[in-house]
Amino acid sequence: MTQPPPAPPGPAPPAASRFDAAVRAAVGQGLLGERGPVAGFIDTDGVRASVAALHHAFARAPGVLHTFAAKACSLVPVLRLLAAEGMGCEVASPGELRLAVEAGFAPASIVLDSPAKTREEIRLALALGVAVNADSLEELRRVDALRNRATASVFGLRVNPQVGAGSIGPMSTATDTAKFGVALRDPGAREAVVRAFADRPWLTRLHTHVGSQGCPLELIAAGVARTYELAEEINATLGTRQVTSLDIGGGLPVNFTDETVRPGYADYVTALAGAAPGLFSGRYGLVTEFGRSLLAKNGFIGARVEYTKDAGARRIALPHAGAQTATRTVLMPGDWPLRIGAFGPDGAPKSGPVLAQDIAGPCCFAGDVVAYGRELPELTEGDVVVLYDTGAYYFSTPWAYNSLPRPAVYGFRSAGPDGAVVFATVRDAQTMDAIAAESGLAHADALLLGG
C-alpha cells in the first residue's frame, strides 16, 4: 500500500487572517456553495502590496523593467491589474502573448521567452515590437532570416549558467542538461555565444533564469552572477558596450509552510548584490520575471464538502477541489504541500476538537488527494475547505480531467468603514455547453462512415 507523504505543512492561518471575511462573504453572497461548489479568489489589495514591495526592493537599481510571468496567472483581469500597477509581462506562448496584448501591456513592456518559437510567433513578436529572448543559437539563426531592421523589438539570448539544481528537479532550469538556453559550460559554448554577439550588433541582451520553487537564493544569485560576468566579457571582447541589459528571470521561492512571506524581495536583492556587486551600478538595464511570488499568497481556493466517509479507519472528506485545481499538489504532494482551512456552512472558521482527515478531490482516480491525515475540525457535508497560497498556477490554469468545469474566479477587496467585502468576477464558471463545444460537439458526426 502506498504510504501518504510525510510532514504536512504548518497550521492554517489564524481566524483573524484577511481571507476569513472573504470566505464568509462568498458563502453569504452565493459565490461559494451548492450552486458554486468550487471557486478561486484573488485579494487585489494583496496583489498591489506585493507589487509595491517588489518595486521598493529594487529602488536602488535604475532602469528596471519588472515583468509578470503570465503563466503564473493567465487571467486577463489579473494581468490588467498588474499592468495598471506598473508591471510588464513575460510570455512564453502565442496564447500568452495574445492575453498580454488584450490586458493592455505596452509592447515595449512585453518579453517573449517561448522555448519553441515558431516562425509565425517570431514574426508576430517583431511586428508588435515586443522583446524576444532567443532560447538557442539555432533560434538566433532563424531570427536572422526574419528580423526587420525597422522593428522596435529588443533581442536577447538565453544562457544556462549550469549552476545546479534546487530541491525540486523539475523547477530547476540551470542544471547541466536543462532544456533552456545555451549551456555555458559545454565545450565551445561560451566562445560561440561571444561570436553570436560579435556577428549581430542588434543583439543587446543576455537572459537567464535559474529556477523557482525549491531553488535557494544563493543558487539563483550564482546564476545571475555568471551571466553578469559573461556580459562583461562580451563587451570587453568586442570593445564596445553592446550588451546593455540583463534579463535575470524570476523564481523567488514561496513559503508554503505558513502565512509569512519569506524570503522577500529585499532578501533576493541582498543575495544578488553579494554575488554580483556591479549588477545595480546602472551599467545594465535589468528585467525581472516574477510570477508565483507575486500571486501565490494573494489567492485561495474555496470548495464545498460534498461527502465524508470512513475507509480503513481513516476519515476522508470529499470537497470539489482536487487534481483539477491543485494538480501539482496532487501529483507531487511532497514538493507542493498546501495549508488547509476548515469553515462551516455559513463560511465561519470551524473550531472544536481536531480529527485527522484526508482531503480528497472529485477526480476519478485514487491518487486525487490534496492532503493526507490533516488534523482539522471534523468536516461534514456543506462545510467549506480552503486551499491557501493558490493564487498562482492553481485555479487560473486548471486541468480538464473528467471534463470537470473550470471554476469561477473572483477578485475581492475590503471597502467602506465596516470592512465589507466586495467581489468582482474575473472568470465565469465554465458551463456544460462550453465543455461540450470544446469537446468537438460541432463535429460530432465527423468520424461516422459517410460523415
What span, in angstroms and rounded, lies between the C-alpha atoms of 139 and 137? 5
Query: 166: Cβ–Cβ under 8 A, 6 or more apart, which residues?
Result: 172, 211, 213, 214, 215, 216, 219, 253
**pLDDT averaged per 10 residues, the chain (length 451):** 46 60 97 97 97 96 94 98 98 98 98 96 97 98 94 97 90 90 96 98 97 92 96 98 97 93 96 96 96 97 98 96 97 95 97 96 98 97 97 96 98 87 98 98 92 56
Closest CA to 251 of 203, 149, 180: 180
The burial of 423, by beta-carbon neighbours within 10 Å (0-12 exposed, 13-18 middle, 19 or more buried), is given as middle
Residues 261-298: b if buried by 16+ CB within 10 A, e if exposed: bebbbeebbebbeebbeebbeebbbbbbbbbbbbbbbb
What span, in angstroms and rounded, lies between the C-alpha atoms of 49 and 420? 19
Domains in the chain, CATH or no CATH each: 18-42+297-438 (2.40.37.10), 44-294 (3.20.20.10)
Q: How many CA atoms lie within 13 A of 240 on its CB side?
A: 9
What span, in angstroms and rounded, lies between the C-alpha atoms of 254 and 9? 13
Backbone angles phi, psi at 77, to 5 degrees: -60, -35
Total residues belonging to the chain? 451
What span, in angstroms and rounded, lies between the C-alpha atoms of 256 and 296? 9
The answer to whether 77 and 426 have CB atoms below 8 angstroms apart is yes
User: What element of type H or E holds 237?
Assistant: helix 217-238
- Cα–chain center distance at 39: 18
Residue 10: what pLDDT? Answer: 52
Residue with cell string 456544460: 432
Where do the DSSP E strands lie in 236-313?
A: 245-247, 285-290, 299-311
Closest CA to 70 of 42, 39, 103: 103
User: How far, CA to CA in Å, does 50 sit from each of 55, 124, 130, 366, 411?
Assistant: 9, 32, 25, 37, 15
Strand-pairing partners, residue 349, are 343
Residue 419: what pLDDT? Answer: 81
- For the chain, the straight-line distance linking the first and the last C-alpha, in angstroms and rounded, comes to 48
- In this structure, what C-alpha cell is assigned to residue 15? 481566524
Closest CA to 67 of 214, 248, 226, 269: 248
Query: 193: Cβ–Cβ under 8 A, 6 or more apart, which residues?
Result: 137, 157, 159, 182, 184, 230, 234
Q: What is the DSSP string of 320-335?
A: S-STTT-HHHHHSTTT
